[in-house]
């Protein structure tokens, strides 16, 4: 750029010099009279030669001329010192020439005060004019470049500002990144501490069945080699355990939910028990926590044996003692002396209390282990409540209270167990009678609440303390420890009642009333009479019932052989046949093909929800995958071409209830079982 600007400067000065010399030669009379002073008088005489005025002009013009010379000298010095970096330095030289020419005119004004060299003064003015015109022309030609330079400076300043903002933003991001890194390091440290504190084995494996990570157990535990990372499941685990891990991986990936199951691991001389929790992770991986529960299982077996002993060996003689005391107290052996009669009455009352305590403890154990037996039938709650009130007559007579039944719709129907519902009602009636004042009337109401039947017991006792309300349904919960002595009871009745109602698909609760008293209630789903089948539900067999909806008869035969030891199989070939069967029979599991001759098998799921009194878990086993809309309503889904018989049997076994619905009215061995249908809601 500097080189391109030197040519205009030389051209301008050259043209100015040539023009000055040309005018000197061509201007009329100029060249011949350049230094002539004849014919004129100094212009100082124009001031009548007043010395003070002449001196003023002389001094001021001299000072102006000297200033012009000084300015020109400084511009030349500036160009000399900054010629490599100063843009357009030639224009400064042009200004210097213009200014020095102006200074010359002032010097000539001083000369002509005393000497009339007007030709020379005119020539100097001519040179000044040429320098002025040349500078003006050069400056006009330079203006676009100057504007461009200004724009460039502004753009540079804008870029500098943007760079400053970017630098500030980068510094802020750097500080934030450092903070995030510190938080990550702190979080990783916390997680490592948490993992180290977990005594159980933790492994992570991918969708191909390869171990990716392993945190060993602190002591003993699941038998895995030290170098398990990078090895496939099949290389370090027995085939049955590999099948469990692969099936669990498929299930957690499909559902996206945690899966927990108990695993028996075969060892050399025994079988160890483990609780295994599978959790889905990113990229199809599964994180697995394995806890050794061999000792816990052993304790559970010991507890079951103890409960069985209590059930068979303790209740039998206790029942005989209670019966004998009752006969004696009733006068079957003759009239007793007053003191002996009092002692017999005390013994009989406490034997009754001991029987109730043992029954409550056994019921709690059965509920927690899932072994409580239910006989599900279509029932009318009003009749059950009336029978329970009648059965409480002898108990409440000495308390001086009585019950008033209100039943605006006596024909309401529910699905339930008459004995267990009676047990719940008796608990609520007993509590209301114990805590109501003498002479109180306890209101018992059976009424419709939308799609539910509500059974409510309203007492008029002291009410429930606010601090006790949150734990009233807990085991052994009592508002005051003295209650067990004053009123009797174990604190188990409400806990048992809550478990029974929830297992029947209902809910239990209470409300407080002013100025005193409490209303306990429970609700059960109403079964519409339009849904009651024309023939009664068949009594259940020894195995859970599995309904297989599949139009391929060969596959139906394979399924029959596969599940013969775990379920009672019923096969149908169409949607219509499935609906007809479900209207008349209860089943524990439905295995469903989506491709059926009379429609989409998926349509059976909403039909079951609308027409069956109790929910049934559904396993989709088909050649195609289920739709996203159907997925939330099925328990599991398997693709036929991707599922082995072992995987199918394992999934069926997991979905079948651990216990079943039976028609056994007397709760016998604690190992007996019934289905937890509420878990499929």
Boundary-marking domain end, from 255, 275, 292: 292
What is the model's pLDDT at position 220?
Answer: 63
CB neighbours (10 Å) of residue 419? 15
For the chain, give the percent of residues with pLDDT over 90. 15
User: Does residue 499 fall inside a structural domain?
Assistant: yes
Average pLDDT score over residue span 468-480: 70
- Residue 199 phi/psi, 5-degree rounding, is -80, -10
Chain segment 589-610, per-residue pLDDT in tens? 999 999 898 889 999 999 998 8
Average pLDDT score over residue span 263-282: 82
Boundary-marking domain end, from 490, 510, 530: 530
SS3 68: helix
In 3D space, the residue among 526, 377, 402 whose CA is nearest the CA of residue 454 turns out to be 526
- Whether the predicted pLDDT of 675 surpasses 80: no
Spell out a b/e string for 223-243, using b for 16 or more CB atoms within 10 Å of the CB, else e: ebeeebeebebeeebeeebbb
- Mark whether 8 and 138 lie in a shared domain: yes
- Mark whether 72 and 38 lie in a shared domain: yes
For the chain, give the percent of residues with pLDDT over 70. 80
- Mark whether 511 and 574 lie in a shared domain: no
* Residue 379 bridge partners (DSSP): 414
What is the model's pLDDT at position 214?
Answer: 85
Domain that holds residue 285: 201-292
What is the tally of structural domains in the chain? 5
* Contact (CB, 8 A) for 669 and 362: no
- Whether the predicted pLDDT of 238 surpasses 70: yes
Chain segment 43-85, per-residue pLDDT in tens? 666 656 678 887 888 898 889 889 888 888 888 888 888 777 7
What is the model's pLDDT at position 592?
Answer: 94
Boundary-marking domain end, from 513, 530, 547: 530
User: Quick one: 175 exposed, middle or buried, by C-beta within 10 A (0-12, 13-18, 19+)?
Assistant: exposed
What is the model's pLDDT at position 663?
Answer: 31
Average pLDDT score over residue span 346-375: 73
What is the model's pLDDT at position 16?
Answer: 61
Top pLDDT among 524 and 666 is at 524
What is the model's pLDDT at position 3?
Answer: 42
What is the model's pLDDT at position 666?
Answer: 30
- Only one residue has tokens 């009479």, namely 529
Chain segment 326-344, per-residue pLDDT in tens? 778 777 777 888 888 888 8
* Residue 546 bridge partners (DSSP): 569, 589
- Whether the predicted pLDDT of 26 surpasses 60: yes
What's the rounded Cα separation, in Å, for the pair 394 and 54?
149
User: Does residue 64 fall inside a structural domain?
Assistant: yes
What's the rounded Cα separation, in Å, for the pair 305 and 311?
10
Top pLDDT among 451 and 516 is at 451
pLDDT band at 617 (very low <50, low <70, confident <90, very high): very high
What's the rounded Cα separation, in Å, for the pair 213 and 80?
76
User: Does residue 223 fall inside a structural domain?
Assistant: yes
Residues contacting residue 452 through CB under 8 Å, at least 6 positions apart? 506, 523, 524, 525, 526
- Residue 47 phi/psi, 5-degree rounding, is -90, 15
- Mark whether 288 and 302 lie in a shared domain: no
- Whether the predicted pLDDT of 660 surpasses 60: no
User: Does residue 129 fall inside a structural domain?
Assistant: yes
Both tokens of 233, joined, read 């499941």
Least-confidence region, from 106-110, 126-130, 214-218, 670-674: 670-674
- Mark whether 434 and 548 lie in a shared domain: no
Chain segment 517-574, per-residue pLDDT in tens? 889 999 999 886 544 443 333 334 458 899 999 988 878 888 888 898 889 999 999 9
- Whether the predicted pLDDT of 311 surpasses 90: no
pLDDT band at 661 (very low <50, low <70, confident <90, very high): very low
Residue 346 belongs to domain with CATH number: 1.10.287
Residue 268 belongs to domain with CATH number: 3.30.450.20
- Mark whether 49 and 124 lie in a shared domain: yes
Both tokens of 370, joined, read 């899932």
Residues contacting residue 342 through CB under 8 Å, at least 6 positions apart? none
User: Does residue 143 fall inside a structural domain?
Assistant: yes
Average pLDDT score over residue span 126-139: 79
Chain segment 369-413, per-residue pLDDT in tens? 666 767 778 888 998 999 888 888 877 887 889 899 999 888 889
Spell out a b/e string for 202-216, using b for 16 or more CB atoms within 10 Å of the CB, else e: bbbbeeebebbebee
User: Does residue 633 fall inside a structural domain?
Assistant: yes
* Contact (CB, 8 A) for 380 and 410: yes
| Integer-rounded Cα radius of gyration of the chain | 54
Q: What is the residue-averaged pLDDT of the chain?
A: 78
Both tokens of 197, joined, read 């504190």
Q: How far are the Cα atoms of 81, 86, 174 from residue 77, in angstroms, in the given order?
A: 6, 12, 49
What's the rounded Cα separation, in Å, for the pair 153 and 573?
86
- Mark whether 96 and 22 lie in a shared domain: yes
- Mark whether 626 and 667 lie in a shared domain: yes
Average pLDDT score over residue span 158-187: 91
Q: Which of 250-264, 442-456, 480-494 has the highest mean pLDDT?
A: 442-456
pLDDT band at 20 (very low <50, low <70, confident <90, very high): low
- Mark whether 525 and 655 lie in a shared domain: no
User: Does residue 181 fall inside a structural domain?
Assistant: no
What's the rounded Cα separation, in Å, for the pair 223 and 201?
10
- Mark whether 515 and 560 lie in a shared domain: no
- Whether the predicted pLDDT of 577 surpasses 90: yes
What is the model's pLDDT at position 101?
Answer: 83
Residue 395 belongs to domain with CATH number: 3.30.565.10
User: Does residue 220 fall inside a structural domain?
Assistant: yes
Spell out a b/e string for 140-172, using b for 16 or more CB atoms within 10 Å of the CB, else e: eebeeeeeeeeeeeeeeeeeeeeeeeeeeeeee
- Mark whether 216 and 147 lie in a shared domain: no
* Contact (CB, 8 A) for 548 and 558: no
- Mark whether 6 and 152 lie in a shared domain: yes
Q: pTM of the predicted model, to two decimals?
A: 0.43
């Amino acid at each position: 750029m500097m080189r391109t600007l030197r040519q205009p400067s030389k051209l301008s000065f050259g043209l100015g010099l040539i023009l000055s010399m040309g005018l000197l030669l061509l201007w009329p009379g100029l060249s011949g009279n350049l230094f002539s002073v004849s014919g004129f008088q100094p212009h100082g005489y124009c001031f009548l030669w007043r010395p003070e005025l002449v001196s003023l002009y002389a001094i001021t013009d001299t000072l102006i001329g000297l200033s012009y010379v000084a300015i020109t000298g400084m511009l030349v010095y500036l160009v000399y010192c900054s010629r490599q970096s100063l843009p357009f330095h030639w224009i400064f030289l042009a200004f210097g020439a213009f200014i020095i020419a102006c200074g010359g005119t002032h010097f000539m004004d001083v000369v002509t005060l005393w000497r009339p060299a007007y030709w020379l003064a005119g020539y100097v003015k001519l040179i000044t004019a040429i320098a002025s015109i040349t500078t003006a022309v050069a400056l006009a030609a330079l203006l676009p470049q100057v504007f461009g330079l200004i724009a460039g400076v502004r753009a540079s300043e804008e870029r500098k500002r943007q760079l400053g903002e970017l630098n500030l933003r980068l510094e802020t991001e750097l500080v934030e990144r450092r903070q995030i890194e510190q938080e990550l390091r702190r979080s990783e440290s916390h997680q490592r501490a948490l993992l180290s504190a977990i005594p159980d084995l933790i492994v992570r494996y991918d969708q191909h069945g390869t171990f990716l990570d392993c945190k060993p157990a602190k002591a003993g535990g699941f038998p895995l080699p030290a170098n398990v990372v990078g090895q496939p499941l099949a290389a370090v685990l027995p085939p049955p355990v590999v099948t469990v891990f692969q099936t669990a991986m498929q299930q957690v990936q499909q559902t996206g939910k945690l899966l927990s199951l108990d695993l028996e691991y075969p060892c050399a001389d025994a079988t160890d028990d483990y609780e295994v929790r599978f959790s889905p992770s990113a990229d199809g991986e599964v994180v697995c926590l394995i806890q050794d529960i061999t000792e816990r299982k052993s304790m559970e077996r010991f507890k079951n044996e103890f409960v069985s002993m209590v059930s068979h060996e303790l209740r039998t003689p206790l029942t005989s003692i209670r019966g004998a005391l009752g006969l004696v107290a009733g006068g079957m052996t003759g009239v007793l002396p007053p003191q002996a009669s009092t002692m017999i009455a005390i013994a009989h009352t406490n034997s009754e209390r001991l029987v109730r305590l043992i029954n409550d403890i056994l019921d709690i154990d059965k509920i927690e282990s899932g072994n409580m037996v239910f006989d599900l039938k279509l029932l009318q709650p009003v009749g059950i409540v009336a029978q329970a009130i009648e059965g409480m007559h002898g108990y409440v007579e000495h308390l001086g209270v009585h019950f008033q039944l209100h039943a605006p719709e006596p024909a309401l129907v529910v699905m339930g167990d008459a004995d267990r519902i009676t047990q719940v009602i008796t608990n609520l009636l007993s509590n209301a009678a114990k805590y109501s004042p003498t002479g109180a009337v306890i209101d018992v109401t059976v009424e419709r609440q939308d799609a539910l039947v509500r059974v409510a017991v309203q007492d008029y006792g002291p009410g429930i303390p606010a601090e006790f309300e949150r734990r009233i349904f807990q085991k052994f919960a009592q508002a005051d420890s003295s209650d067990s002595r004053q009123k009797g009871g174990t604190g188990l009745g409400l806990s048992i009642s809550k478990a029974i109602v929830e297992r029947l698909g209902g809910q239990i609760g209470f409300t407080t009333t002013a100025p005193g008293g409490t209303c306990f209630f429970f609700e059960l789903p109403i079964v519409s009479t339009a849904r009651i089948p024309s023939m009664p539900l068949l009594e259940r067999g020894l195995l859970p019932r599995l309904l297989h909806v599949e139009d391929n008869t060969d596959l139906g035969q394979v399924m029959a052989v596969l599940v013969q030891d775990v379920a009672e199989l019923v096969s149908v070939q169409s949607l219509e046949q499935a609906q007809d069967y479900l209207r008349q029979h209860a089943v524990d599991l439905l295995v469903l093909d989506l491709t059926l001759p009379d429609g989409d098998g998926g349509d059976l799921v909403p039909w079951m929800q609308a027409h069956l009194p109790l929910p049934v878990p559904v396993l989709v086993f088909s050649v195609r995958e289920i739709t996203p809309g159907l997925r939330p309503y099925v328990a599991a889904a398997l693709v036929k071409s991707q599922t082995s018989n072992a995987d199918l049997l394992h999934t069926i076994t997991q979905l079948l209830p651990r216990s079943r619905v039976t028609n056994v009215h007397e709760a016998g061995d604690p190992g007996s079982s019934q289905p937890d249908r509420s878990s499929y809601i």
